[in-house]
Structure 1
């Protein structure tokens, strides 16, 4: 089936008048950290080139600052800096002359990591590092000039356009919102005044770059902020920047301080595109929609509904640079889908680490991690088909090795088979679908239901044995841990044991939170239903109040169980969860009435329940069930047996190190080892 037959909207070109986009797929902006590296331009060139070859119609880079006070590690303020950027644009255009690449101009405003940061008013962001300096009239004029200068330098560097970000709590958006703009001059007060800077920046940029240069404005379509923009303000802003010269408007659904998840795996696919669809009715220019569009059929459906003229797929291009090409060629089942886990992308970005991808560790490492054909193909046995074993087996097979993959269970996946059963983590199914397809496509011999031992491996004469046998739950030393009330987390997740109405969970790491989510959940998963998601997080798509949120105290559907989540340390529970998603899990459980207690010493389990000491006092948790989520230990029996027999083996994943359940580390480690096998 041809691309136009299956995805007629996605693969229709878009005429911009002075130029054309070859399709409707946009790689949206992401700050990767490559921008700050000494060899950053070389690595950005490799990163973006791979995506250009992968079929995307337009690429938007990570944010680049227009001046020092904008506070990003990467700035474009001089012709000398533009020369470095030219190496990126030339590489992309050489890979595919039809791909457009635009540079995002990002002024972080009050979120800038510098004491010289500026804002409309001296209002400190809850997540900012410094109190911003209030701009005077001359300072505002300087910012406008710097935006225009940055755009002109981007044009000289060979970019096809720029994106001006006016959302997310960055400089331009803080002028738009009354809570951060306390001014009484012509830049504050009425919305006409508050939007003046955004409109003037677009006007001055257009005046500077001329008519044949793409100017995208990223608008806060729904900023998820109480006291944020009302719908009539969003439409006025869109019409204002369009009149000022914007070629394209890109909708954004984010304010970094907002208490609503917008791009985590618990968010339904294409949850916010309906807002873009409404905005599209009030402007004439093309509009980009975004957020949780991770597969070609989702993109096609969004475009077919009229929810946008273009679809932004940012992190999905981390997961699979060839996503669009695979859709074009009818190989959708080979797409390595973004599961919106945030673990290697946003969590890294917000902690100052180089961005990558849990399911694709090559992302942002294209110059150092590659899978060349093996000089001497070998017979390799991989034991264990969890994330590490799957990654090693498929990378080794891709390089030309003959791989046999053993798994004692009757399905692949390991710990992913637990994760995918947790409400809100349904996307994990996509990763297992991808690996099943790769096993078949790459000719990996898969042996399910086989508990292979050292002697069998030795007799088969493999050139290399990779032990990816994973982990087993740790059983804590607690009196009565074998009591009938006690259930292990594997049995709890798989439904092998009944769970009572009153439950104590021992261990508040990722597994503990997952189990708490599972046993307190009721009804349809919010990740699968936009209406349920909107109710749980107070989003009003129909009426679009200020910021799009109701501000009403929310209660999520609950199973009615009384659950207490416990941990030994006195730290805040959930401290080890992801930086950008942990708060959502804590908040959801709190809304269901889950109690969270730290500093617990476990004494015993008996018919009365769980006996413990908290703060030096004896406490009895009168529960029907105690679920053990007290960590894991590596399963190394096979590795030890091979070592005893004098046979060298490679140890990967949880069998190598069982510190929490870390699929990101396991897949990265296995892929790197397989790349040199």
Structure 2
């Protein structure tokens, strides 16, 4: 199938010639090697949300995705992720024709993913290979009987047949991430002594039987993909010999494509967080590709187009799966084909608006693209030239940058004012934290998109009222400043020879305006305090930039030697930087409870590994020549430090608000909008700030 006319075909000299080239895939050809990987958005579970899901997926097809995989749908009631979800029954399948029709209208290809949650199911019908309980689930799953297994195989086949009736181009069987089929494969969760367990051949009998049944149900004209776990990263996972035997068995059963998966959800090794090195798991994908004769899909942190091109050019994989990057930018393939790679909205792998929300039962979206999964609700409609407004955006942090780009893309005449010499605000600081280097990609994207949207940028200009005259709309995105706290000097006035610890703000530290010594106390253990602690203790260069050292740190080994690829983590107890760091918070309880659900545990593990002293319920008495004096559990103690970094919250910067609103009184002046940290400083919520920016601009 030739590339559609609305998406240019790549030239041999294209920097993405491999990524954008067509590929014969089973019964059909895909227009490029970019797969939009499966991700649950929360729109899959209710019939009334299917039009929104169709628009979400259709926009990705319109943007040029070569192959789209839906979120997971269960073949029966026991396999549902949640109690309120519906299996892919006949009634559900009929409604899905809207989805397949929408995708096909834009020359896309789409597979339905069939996913049985196994012991990850959050309801009383949960069933698994054996009666076990996952550490991330409150429920114990029952053991599937032999009769139940036979019924389950038929349910998989029936689901595949319904997918064909609904217009899908095929299905993907989820056999990775620790879901049911993966549970049957691993000694960790399969303790059976019958034909469905006992030895490795028995443990893979169910996945192979399911694949064969689904192949028969699909017929020859539909694609069958299987998501295979290459590294379980849990104790008693599969070894490499077992994984290869499974792969060969799947190909013999009629699987057209092997899509790689890394790590179980319960694994205590990060696999997709922003601190995971880019392409960290591609070497094991390359080993699979050498061993099988069907196309292989690489995944997990192959999220940047130039990196994906390198993976394909080396022959490490045939396609690349990107899930969250398609949340961030539905037009990713189109932009690459149009030589607009610098305008791709960069995924920063933060998980804040996608996975963190899904795992608490909320709808997914995207921090850098709040329209994701809200396409029918949040539209940026272009305006004709005669209705274009003069818009001033004050402040070039994330909220201001997004507001300026969104307004410019609608056709308004936009000027962006920034008092500093660089764009980015708090994202500039975040990008300097080890493990958050991808934030710099987001800033590069905003800079390019400002230019493409025709936004005028005035750096080094602290906007005054005189600068803002003549505008129809003014968007104040002036952000925040660090909150100062009083730390009194203890004792008599210090003499010239007495020097207490240097007290600095997190902004001074991360901006390079001040340096920390070898012994540091951090006041405030919220997200910024944790970031500062990691900044102070991390090795240089950042472990995120050294995949070999990172794998050693987390104990990721060769699956041919270590079952599940889980070896022994590098010993901890001391900061690689050589610093001694105390992380202090006023509130009682564990540090880091407000961090993201899917990434907070990673940060806490890094702090423990580096030997960071973490204390709760701390009161700050003051500073003296020897350091910082604190009170904890009714007892005073001197922390011998040379630097105190204050991470005690922020205050909104909005001095312009009152004079601007006074100008607007009576309707003679511009309308004034307050967004982001300028509107509310609490928790430095970039997700809320960027969403506000788009909502305000959509309403102009």
TM-score (norm 1): 0.97
1:167-246 correspondence to structure 2 within 5 Å: 167-246=176-255
1:74–1:542 distance in 2 versus 1, CA, 3 Å: closer
**Alpha carbon RMSD of aligned pairs, Å?**
1.7
1:78–1:500 distance in 2 versus 1, CA, 3 Å: closer
Deviation by residue 1:476-522 (Cα, 9 ceiling, x = unmatched): 24324996521111111122223111111000011101111111112
Is the CA contact (8 Å cut-off) linking 1:4 and 1:12 kept in structure 2?
no
Is the CA contact (8 Å cut-off) linking 1:105 and 1:147 kept in structure 2?
yes
Aligned to 1:20: 29
1:463-478 correspondence to structure 2 within 5 Å: 463-478=472-487
Report the Cα offset of residue 588 of structure 1. 0.8
Report the Cα offset of residue 456 of structure 1. 3.6
Aligned to 2:439: 428
Is the CA contact (8 Å cut-off) linking 2:42 and 2:361 kept in structure 1?
yes
**Which secondary structure does the structure 2 equivalent of 1:47 belong to?**
helix
Larger displacement relative to structure 2 (649-658 or 476-485)? 476-485
- The answer as to 2:295 corresponding to 1:286 is yes
Is the CA contact (8 Å cut-off) linking 2:73 and 2:80 kept in structure 1?
no
Report the Cα offset of residue 668 of structure 1. 0.6
- The answer as to 2:538 corresponding to 1:521 is yes
Is the CA contact (8 Å cut-off) linking 2:58 and 2:103 kept in structure 1?
yes
1:582 to 581, 586, 600: 600
1:589-604 correspondence to structure 2 within 5 Å: 589-604=607-622
Aligned to 1:486: 503
Is the CA contact (8 Å cut-off) linking 2:88 and 2:159 kept in structure 1?
yes
**Partners of 2:173 and 2:561 in 1: CA distance:** 24
**Partners of 2:467 and 2:61 in 1: CA distance:** 46
- The answer as to 2:678 corresponding to 1:670 is no
1:214–1:467 distance in 2 versus 1, CA, 3 Å: same
- The answer as to 2:119 corresponding to 1:110 is yes
1:383–1:114 distance in 2 versus 1, CA, 3 Å: same
Report the Cα offset of residue 38 of structure 1. 4.3
2:171 to 154, 157, 162: 162
Aligned to 1:79: 90
Aligned to 1:377: 388
1:129-148 correspondence to structure 2 within 5 Å: 129-148=138-157
Larger displacement relative to structure 2 (370-379 or 240-249)? 370-379
Aligned to 1:568: 586
Is the CA contact (8 Å cut-off) linking 1:361 and 1:671 kept in structure 2?
yes
Larger displacement relative to structure 2 (260-269 or 544-553)? 544-553
Aligned to 2:13: 5
Larger displacement relative to structure 2 (563-572 or 286-295)? 286-295
**Partners of 2:280 and 2:138 in 1: CA distance:** 31
**Partners of 2:383 and 2:695 in 1: CA distance:** 14
**Partners of 2:32 and 2:501 in 1: CA distance:** 60
Is the CA contact (8 Å cut-off) linking 1:538 and 1:551 kept in structure 2?
yes
**Which secondary structure does the structure 1 equivalent of 2:192 belong to?**
coil
Report the Cα offset of residue 466 of structure 1. 1.2
Aligned to 1:366: 375
Report the Cα offset of residue 110 of structure 1. 0.4
**Partners of 2:61 and 2:309 in 1: CA distance:** 20
- The answer as to 2:617 corresponding to 1:617 is no
1:4–1:103 distance in 2 versus 1, CA, 3 Å: farther
- The answer as to 2:425 corresponding to 1:414 is yes
Report the Cα offset of residue 316 of structure 1. 0.6
2:409 to 372, 378, 398: 398
1:246-257 correspondence to structure 2 within 5 Å: 246-257=255-266
Is the CA contact (8 Å cut-off) linking 2:501 and 2:626 kept in structure 1?
no
**Which secondary structure does the structure 1 equivalent of 2:96 belong to?**
helix
Report the Cα offset of residue 178 of structure 1. 0.9
1:448–1:333 distance in 2 versus 1, CA, 3 Å: same
Larger displacement relative to structure 2 (334-343 or 477-486)? 477-486
Is the CA contact (8 Å cut-off) linking 1:358 and 1:667 kept in structure 2?
yes
Larger displacement relative to structure 2 (580-589 or 494-503)? 494-503
**Partners of 2:559 and 2:115 in 1: CA distance:** 31
Is the CA contact (8 Å cut-off) linking 1:3 and 1:11 kept in structure 2?
no
- The answer as to 2:650 corresponding to 1:632 is yes
Report the Cα offset of residue 120 of structure 1. 1.1
**Which secondary structure does the structure 2 equivalent of 1:385 belong to?**
coil
1:539 to 556, 564, 574: 556
Deviant stretches of 4+, over 6 Å: none
**Partners of 2:24 and 2:201 in 1: CA distance:** 31
Aligned to 2:675: 652
Deviation by residue 1:589-611 (Cα, 9 ceiling, x = unmatched): 11111011111111111212111
Is the CA contact (8 Å cut-off) linking 1:410 and 1:449 kept in structure 2?
yes
**Which secondary structure does the structure 2 equivalent of 1:424 belong to?**
coil
Report the Cα offset of residue 2 of structure 1. 4.1
Aligned to 2:523: 506
Report the Cα offset of residue 641 of structure 1. 2.8
1:434–1:401 distance in 2 versus 1, CA, 3 Å: same
Is the CA contact (8 Å cut-off) linking 1:524 and 1:532 kept in structure 2?
no
**Which secondary structure does the structure 2 equivalent of 1:294 belong to?**
coil
**Which secondary structure does the structure 1 equivalent of 2:272 belong to?**
coil
Report the Cα offset of residue 553 of structure 1. 5.1
2:137 to 128, 131, 136: 128
Deviation by residue 1:118-168 (Cα, 9 ceiling, x = unmatched): 011111000113111111111111111111111111111000011111111
1:75–1:4 distance in 2 versus 1, CA, 3 Å: farther
Aligned residues: 673
**Partners of 1:367 and 1:568 in 2: CA distance:** 44
**Which secondary structure does the structure 1 equivalent of 2:68 belong to?**
strand
Report the Cα offset of residue 544 of structure 1. 5.1
**Which secondary structure does the structure 2 equivalent of 1:503 belong to?**
strand
**Which secondary structure does the structure 2 equivalent of 1:536 belong to?**
helix
**Partners of 1:633 and 1:639 in 2: CA distance:** 14
Report the Cα offset of residue 523 of structure 1. 2.2
**Which secondary structure does the structure 2 equivalent of 1:299 belong to?**
helix
Report the Cα offset of residue 184 of structure 1. 0.8
**Partners of 1:171 and 1:525 in 2: CA distance:** 36
Gapped regions of structure 1 (runs ≥ 5): none
**Which secondary structure does the structure 2 equivalent of 1:393 belong to?**
helix
Is the CA contact (8 Å cut-off) linking 1:116 and 1:132 kept in structure 2?
yes
Deviation by residue 1:33-53 (Cα, 9 ceiling, x = unmatched): 111244221011101111111
Report the Cα offset of residue 525 of structure 1. 1.4
**Partners of 1:188 and 1:219 in 2: CA distance:** 18
Larger displacement relative to structure 2 (604-613 or 17-26)? 17-26
**Which secondary structure does the structure 1 equivalent of 2:521 belong to?**
strand
Report the Cα offset of residue 587 of structure 1. 0.7
Deviation by residue 1:520-543 (Cα, 9 ceiling, x = unmatched): 112221222211221221112485
**Which secondary structure does the structure 1 equivalent of 2:98 belong to?**
helix
